[in-house]
Structure 1
Amino acid sequence: MLYKFIEYQRSLIEPWTAWAAQATNAFTDPGSPFAHVPGASCFAAGYEYLYRLGKTYGKPAFGVTAYDADGRVVAVDEQVVLERPFCRLLRFAHEAAAAPERRPAVLVCAPLAGHHAVLLREVVEMLLPAHEVYVTDWRDARHVPAAEGPFRLDDCVGEIQAFIRHIGGQRLHVLAVCQATVPALAATSLLASAGEPVPRSLVLMGGPIDARRNPTAVDRLAARQPLAWFESNLICTVPARYAGAGRKVYPSFLQHAGLVMAHPARMVGAQWDYYLDLVHRDAEHAPAHRRICDEYNSVLDIAAEFYLDTIRIVFQEFRLARGNWSVQGHAVRPRDMRDIALLTVEGGRDDISGRGQTHAAQDLCSGIAPRHRRQFTAAQCGHYELFSGQLWRTEVYPVVRDLIREYA
């Protein structure tokens, strides 16, 4: 019922949202007389703000079409390499000075935790000049027909395994962010246990490998409530208007509300920056701030089975950390990994994955020689700064780049 009520509410405000968009255009279109009245930019900014409060945010595009290589513009083509019901494997193909097979391949494992994979756009942009870049692009569960069946945490691990096999572990480096660190570590461990080729390196950034360490507000909420509470209060049924009608999901509107409450400054700050750009007619910075707002407000539905599995296995039973997790009947044993380098990265100001939670992988991966295990803490980084913004570019990425370069 809650999902249907939200959809009904959206339908009610849709005419007002459309009106706000038209009013914005009236005060910005040079051919409109309203665009030349005193204070036109302020009126436009106000109406644009109203429009963005009421609009429905779709999935943003990566929009990575080119990059600069020492003054030469290199075109980039976003390709779908594998298409599965719940995930697409994307490849960003580009003209390269060296043959693609000679460049390190990096699989960027995006978190399935609410936002679309496009939130890692800056990771892709920084990696592209020197690497072949692949990205896990998780689908919005409301668009996956119920006939495709459930999607569990075990299935997520299986998807990452399949992607590693497809690209080829011998030349691959895996970089996993936030929630994706758990299935990425499990997938790599299972490949090692089975004697299959593993990636040359595994980079884990800001993830809950062991959520018992320095628990954050997110961790405490997940541990405090019984699993039945999450199922009763946070799980909804997709209504008939979507392809996934009848599927049980953790809906995007509940996730978005939680994100705004958890990081109000980030949300308000992005909107305010964009508002000021419009007021001052700053055409240079407005598109970038608008993109940040769009990406942060674009949230997908998550399959209920996956969400509840994650709560139980990662945040309540701590199975990976305790060494008693099995995926499809196979024990997850990170200690079985040998011929691989490990880098764990944490943010000193991360309020989602607490200090020590990601570095816990160092103890679990005891089979890797100490000289091939590294850990790095970016003291001034919050969670999002680990993969976006100035600190990602100047502090975190150089450490990741150097490890890949060393083990390529």
Structure 2
Amino acid sequence: MSFAYHAYEAVHMMVSPARAMSSAMQLAFNNPANPLTYTPMGRSIAAGCELFERTTRRYGKPAFGLNETTVGGVKVPVEERVVWQRPFCNLIYFDRKIEGRRKPQPKVLMVAPMSGHYATLLRGTVEAFLPGHEVYITDWVDARLVPMAAGRFDLDDYIDYVIGMLQMLGPDTHVMAVCQPAVPVLAAVARMEAERDPNAPRSMTLMGGPIDTRCSPTAVNQLALERGIDWFRRNCITRVPFPHMGAFREVYPGFMQLSGFMAMNFDRHVTAHYEMYKHLVAGDGDSAEKHRDFYDEYMAVMDLTAEFYLQTVDVVFVQHLLPRGLMMHRDKPVDLTAVRNVALMTVEGEKDDISGVGQTRATHDLCVNIPSDMRVEYLQRGVGHYGVFNGSRFRSEIAPRISDFMVSLDMKAAGTRRDSTATAARKDLKVAS
């Protein structure tokens, strides 16, 4: 087992005095009363100090900050409420304070990735759907904050959590899985269908998910195959150090995942920070603020329990158990042919370097019993992994298609209910006469 977490904490403590000094110098050279503030030298020193402070900072969990939205052309306040809670997850409901009678709108459960970043990574996704949908999102808890007394959390528990949330929300729910959750969400739906659970969702939308990583394997997929599960266990798992609430829990640290993400595009991140330095020196506050907003989110990471991380790597990336029909949930098989009544939409990005093109679309080949009129597959040109669920093309091209998919299913269900009610009324009238 690695002692990387202890080394990380030690280095962070040793750098703290330098960070404090850097912050003090930044304040001094940003002070309007300091004549050097207005010189190229002063701006350069302040910019360098800010970059040093930001690259050595421990970033906390960001807030969603979605305090209002526009519904029907009217701005309404939004309140975040936790409506379901377990040790490793809170289900957040974005309650739109709409006055008067509410027009029925699709109910969406967004299952955020549990892959190192917080659920706030989907802030733009939530924002895009708030005007026309009842939105819920899984807010996964940092494993280093969960006491050992709360027990384990693995892939089977993840599937149980998803089933529990869907059962609470009811059968008119549309579930949306972004990236990593595609596999457990699909498994949860398959188990609910196999058990004839009346609360199975109306639809599932899988976005950039690793359903079958044998299709168009990426560098991430190849790494898992080459190293094997034992390598990850030896080199990536460590214990949370004291005094964190989850002290002594075995985890895959978020800082390791972040290091891997940054290493994949190291030149891009170096260039981005150099560009920020130039913006600060030039006094371009707007461009610098965009950099801050992105990296405040990107650098905020959470730990994953060791059992969840290792089981996911083994099941999804090494053995490919789901597409091979061999995946189990607890002691029961995950049979994708059992999925018959839940509509399916898959979304992929043409330039996705995390989940290659075809990995999510493979779901259509595996769920053979979903009727053809209940399937949609969409490939977005010109976007990478992040663009599948965020950004301008997501807002203008992807989100409207997903929304139309959900609305059409709700309208179809409402029409079926009306027909059933009318038929029952005619039968009652015939009996009465």
Partner of 1:62: 64
1:109-158: CA deviations, max 9, x gaps? 11111111111110011010111111111111111111211111000011
- Post-superposition CA distance 1:274-317 (Å, at most 9, x none): 44443343444443331211111111111000000011111111
- Assess if the C-alpha contact under 8 Å between 2:220 and 2:354 holds in 1: yes
What whole-Å deviation, never above 9, does each CA across 1:171-201 have from its counterpart, x for those lacking one? x111101111001111111111111122111
2:378 aligned to 376, 379, 386, which one? Answer: 376
Is the Cα–Cα contact under 8 Å of residues 160 and 184 in structure 1 kept in the other structure? Answer: yes
Q: Letter of the 1:396 partner, please give it.
A: I
Q: Which moved more, 1:223-232 or 1:343-352?
A: 223-232
Equivalent AA in structure 2 for residue 343 of structure 1: M
Change (3 A) 1:163 1:39: same
Equivalent residue, structure 1, for 2:191 = 190
CA distance in 1, matches of 2:122, 2:384: 15
Query: Could you tell me how far 1:252 is from its partner in structure 2?
Result: 1.6
Identity of aligned residues (%): 41
1:296 is the counterpart of 2:288: no
- Check the 8 A contact 1:26/1:34 in 2, yes or no: no
Gap change, CA 1:32 and 1:85, over 3 Å in 2: farther
Which residue in the other structure is 1:178 paired with?
179
Deviation larger for 282-291 or 1-10: 282-291
CA 1:285/1:83 → structure 2, altered by over 3 Å: closer, same or farther? Answer: farther
Q: Distance in 1 between the 2:119 and 2:81 partners?
A: 15
Equivalent residue, structure 1, for 2:207: 205
* TM-aligned CA deviation for residue 389 of structure 1: 1.4
Q: Would the aligned equivalents of 1:267 and 1:293 in 2 still touch at CA under 8 Å?
A: no
Unaligned runs of 5+ in 1: none
Give 2:401's aligned amino acid. Answer: V
CA contact (8 A) 1:271 1:293 kept: no
| Contact residue 14 and residue 55 of structure 1 kept, 8 A | no
Length-normalised TM-score, structure 1 = 0.95
| Bigger Rg, which one | 2
Residues 32 and 94 of structure 1: CA distance in aligned 2, closer, same or farther (over 3 Å): farther
CA distance in 2, matches of 1:264, 1:389: 21
Q: Pairwise mapping of residues 154-173 of structure 1 onto structure 2 (< 5 A)?
A: 154-170=156-172, 172-173=173-174
The residue that corresponds to 1:406 in the other structure is 408
| Secondary structure of the corresponding residue to residue 30 of structure 1 | coil
Residues 144 and 398 of structure 1, relative CA distance in 2, 3 Å threshold:
same
1:234, CA displacement in angstroms?
Answer: 0.8
Q: 1:70 to 1:102 in 2, by over 3 A?
A: closer
* Superposition deviation, residue 26 in structure 1: 2.4
State the AA in 2 paired with 1:41: R
- Tell me whether 159-168 or 18-27 shows the greater mean CA deviation: 18-27
Contact kept? 1:267, 1:296, Cα under 8 Å: no
Q: Which moved more, 1:276-285 or 1:320-329?
A: 276-285
Q: 1:335 offset after TM fit, Å? A: 1.9
Cα 1:274–1:60 change in 2 (3 A) is: farther
Deviations 1:56-110 (A, max 9, x none): 1111111111124466432111111122111111111112367568221111111
Moved more, 63-72 or 315-324: 63-72
Relative to structure 2, which stretch is displaced further, 160-169 or 23-32? Answer: 23-32
Matched with 1:386 is: 388
Note the C-alpha offset of 1:266: 4.8
Give the TM-score normalised by structure 2: 0.89
For 2:76 and 2:278, the matched residues in 1 are separated by 33
117 and 99 in structure 1: CA distance in 2 versus 1, 3 angstrom threshold = farther
Q: Distance in 1 between matches of 2:101 and 2:378?
A: 31
Residues 376-385 or 67-76, more deviating? 67-76
Residue correspondence of structure 1 range 191-340 to structure 2 within 5 A: 191-196=192-197, 197-268=199-270, 270-272=272-274, 274-340=276-342
What does residue 6 of structure 1 align with? Answer: 8
What residue is the counterpart of 1:363 in the other structure? 365
Which of 380, 397, 411 lines up with 1:395 in the alignment? 397
Q: Distance in 2 between matches of 1:100 and 1:49?
A: 48
Letter in 2 for 1:169: P
Moved over 6 A (4+): none
How far apart in 2 are the matches of 1:70 and 1:130?
A: 8
RMSD of aligned alpha carbons: 1.9
Mark the CA change 1:130 to 1:280 in structure 2 (over 3 Å): closer, same or farther.
Answer: farther
